Structure 1
Amino acid sequence: MTSLFDSYRLGRLALPNRVVMAPMSRVRAAVGGRATSAMATYYAQRATAGLIVSEGVQPNTVGQSNPGTPGLYTDEHVDSWRPVTAAVHANGGRIFAQIMHGGRVSHPDTTGLQPVAPSAVPAVGDVFAPTGLLPAPMPRALDTAEIPGQAEAYAEAARRAVDAGFDGVELHGANGYLISQFLSSNANLRTDRYGGSVRNRIRFAAEAVSATVAAIGGARTGIRLSPGGGFWGVTETDTAELYSALLNELAGLDLAYIHLEATIDDEVLLDLRRAWPGTLIMNPVHPSGPKPAGPADAERWLGLGADLVSFGRAFLANPDLVERLRNGLPIESADEDTYFQGGDRGYLTYPAYRYTA
């Protein structure tokens, strides 16, 4: 039976285990979206993961969702990320950059720009801004002629990611951000070739992935998806058909992986597993809800056909999570008050497990 601690071949990468560190926003970048030495330490501490997927990295200015997030669209950004990837590699790790365009989940106070989206439909809820939480603003609907440029932004960020030393990239197609907005049936009200039918709603995702593959190769490209997730007020009609069509469209690109969140019932997820011919990373949800997924949840998904399993919050307070899972050691809970507050507390201050004599 497959174990979390079995090795795995992911494209050009030999992974020593099947534990993936999921992308999580930590909003600790420097002014201008530059990566920092603290970020290098943070990721290097967690380099025993089979694969690290970074926090969301904006591919352009209008794509920034939250204050304090890093970018990958200038030479300065590339230079700032090189010490991060070097630190991970020096500790024996592998790291993909998650390319995240926030779309309508943004605010002019953060970027100086009106957010863009498939349609002029605001997100549901409050968004982070420099002064705190503010109601989500009305986005500007992208003109048809602008959309290929936003798809190409993922590819250009991917080129810069490879230049910065990342082993690959993951496009953030989940959780109500721009790609997810195009997949949606209530955030995307377009009547052109990017809206309406399932084929049209998957078009932007397929174009963004195809452009990225053309830029850096399929073996260095993954995408994260949250079928039926409902984040930021996004809903989808024909969810099973929608994601089956998307995976079918992507199947010929020889991607590194698809990364699915368990945001819909197992029946749909297992159908998607059967439909996808390549590597599947599964991000499980604990049956009790808010509790982070644990080893039993991971082993369950490996038994159901996942190749790799990603852990999010469990990695925050447990930089040595792989060792803790391997040896049945206690898994600590993170201090939620430190999630988005900046500084080293709750970021670099969680210790590895201390053995006693």
Structure 2
Amino acid sequence: MEKLWSPTKIGNMELQHRLAMAPMTRSRAQEDGTPGELAAEYYTQRASLGLLITEGAQPSDDGQGYLWSPGIYTEQHIAGWKKVIDSVHEAGGYVYIQLMHVGRMSHPENTPHHRQPVAPSAIAPGVDMFTANGMQNIPVPRELSQEEIQITIQEFRQAAAAAIAAGADGVEIHGANGYLINQFIGENSNTRTDEYGGSIENRARFAIEVAQAIVEEIGADKTGFRISPHTPLGGIEEGEQGPDLYRYLTKELAQFNLAYLHIMHLGNEELLKDIRSIWTNPLLVNRAGRTLENISADLDSGLADLVPVGVWALANPDLVERLQTGAPLNEANPAAFFSGGSEGYTDYPTLKELEKQKN
């Protein structure tokens, strides 16, 4: 694990090790999308992880999918995130706000305007969504017009500017996990016949134009991008052309000289190696099914430059210290992942706190 503890530079960040905190939806924002009162404590507790990639923050009313998810497009949102980010900075960490437009992965009951979800095509994902009235089937979304696509790109741009205004070190564009950008990429979620549908180049166009707009707004050194090749979340199927589309998308994004590319990796090793050969800037690999014993395997093989961790970071605010000393880890409480309040959020004990309890 020697390389895991070596310093590195990503964008404008000087990181002391190769771990990072992966983005995780926590559903604890206030009703208007402002980060909740405990958010600063939650993120600051985990500042030793270096780079903290936040839960997805919607760039607009249309972008919200889940109850109590944070936004980053109003003055209230900016003020709320500033408290979080200032606290993390004081503790020595860095913050990238993830920009997440969910597209069709929404329900009218969960959004401020209670309107029909939007998507590249009027095709429902075929899955349910948790609402205040329980689980409900996601309705058929409304297809975005070309004019609305351009408006959505500008919403991403404005959200990136708002993140920097809040003090964030950068943003991560969420192009993964079945959300809007991934819906444009998906073969079964995008049946458009204009320049945003059909060919590989067209299905990748929206992702590229969002990245270009954000780079123009805040700079490439403050911009990351997340992908999840062949992740079946949200009913997405990318088809036989999927690997070639991601090779093309990687080449196009590489021209922007982004701070990093972040892959949710499910096992296509050939594609991962191809992306590594195309992408010369820092590469973050979040490998599904990874064990603690092989946490540094992708670093050691040269496939990755940084290792984002999710549930381990959620349950262990002092994960870095625990891994460095070989201490056992706290077990996560899945029942409290989205339950609200401090339980399963800010109440996981550190080694120091456990020691105090013994004495």
Q: Which residue of 2 aligns with 1:59?
A: 59
What are the within-5 Å matches in structure 2 for residues 51-130 of structure 1? 51-111=51-111, 112-130=114-132
What are the within-5 Å matches in structure 2 for residues 106-255 of structure 1? 106-111=106-111, 112-237=114-239, 238-255=241-258
Q: Specify the code of the residue in structure 2 equivalent to 1:294.
A: T
Q: Which residue of 2 aligns with 1:303?
A: 300
Deviations 1:189-237 (A, max 9, x none): 0000000000000000000000000010000000110001111110102
> Residue 325 of structure 1 aligns to a residue in which SS?
helix
Q: Specify the code of the residue in structure 1 equivalent to 2:117.
A: P
Superposed CA RMSD: 1.3
Contact 2:330 2:348 in 1 (8 A): no
Q: Which residue of 2 aligns with 1:275?
A: 278
Alignment partners' CA distance in 1, 2:251 and 2:130: 35
Q: Which residue of 1 aligns with 2:344?
A: 346
Q: Which residue of 1 aligns with 2:28?
A: 28
Displacement of 1:2 = 5.6
The TM-score with structure 2 as length reference comes to 0.95
> Residue 227 of structure 1 aligns to a residue in which SS?
coil
Alignment partners' CA distance in 2, 1:276 and 1:44: 31
Contact 2:88 2:95 in 1 (8 A): yes
Alignment partners' CA distance in 1, 2:188 and 2:110: 25
Deviations 1:148-178 (A, max 9, x none): 1112211110100000011000011000000
Q: Specify the code of the residue in structure 1 equivalent to 2:133.
A: T
Displacement of 1:188 = 0.4
Contact 1:116 1:142 in 2 (8 A): yes
Q: Which residue of 2 aligns with 1:41?
A: 41
Out of 261, 266, 269, the position equivalent to 1:263 is 266
Deviations 1:3-55 (A, max 9, x none): 11111111111011110100000000012001123000000000001200000
Alignment partners' CA distance in 2, 1:264 and 1:122: 27
Alignment partners' CA distance in 1, 2:183 and 2:300: 32
Residues 139 and 220 (structure 1 numbering): CA distance in 2 closer, same or farther, change over 3 Å?
same
Count of aligned residue pairs for this structure pair: 351
Deviations 1:267-308 (A, max 9, x none): 21111111111110010112xxxxxx3333321111232000
Deviations 1:96-137 (A, max 9, x none): 000000000000111111100000000121112222221111
Contact 2:50 2:92 in 1 (8 A): no
Alignment partners' CA distance in 2, 1:120 and 1:221: 30
Q: Which residue of 2 aligns with 1:315?
A: 313
Alignment partners' CA distance in 2, 1:344 and 1:15: 29
The TM-score with structure 1 as length reference comes to 0.96
Q: Specify the code of the residue in structure 2 equivalent to 1:295.
A: L
> Residue 37 of structure 1 aligns to a residue in which SS?
coil
> Residue 253 of structure 1 aligns to a residue in which SS?
coil
Alignment partners' CA distance in 2, 1:294 and 1:162: 35
> Residue 81 of structure 1 aligns to a residue in which SS?
helix
Stretches of structure 1 lacking an aligned partner (at least 5 in a row): 287-292
Contact 1:240 1:268 in 2 (8 A): yes
Residues 281 and 59 (structure 1 numbering): CA distance in 2 closer, same or farther, change over 3 Å?
same
Contact 1:50 1:94 in 2 (8 A): yes
Q: Sequence identity, in percent?
A: 43
Contact 1:270 1:304 in 2 (8 A): no
Stretches of structure 2 lacking an aligned partner (at least 5 in a row): none
Q: Which residue of 2 aligns with 1:290?
A: none
Alignment partners' CA distance in 2, 1:132 and 1:277: 45
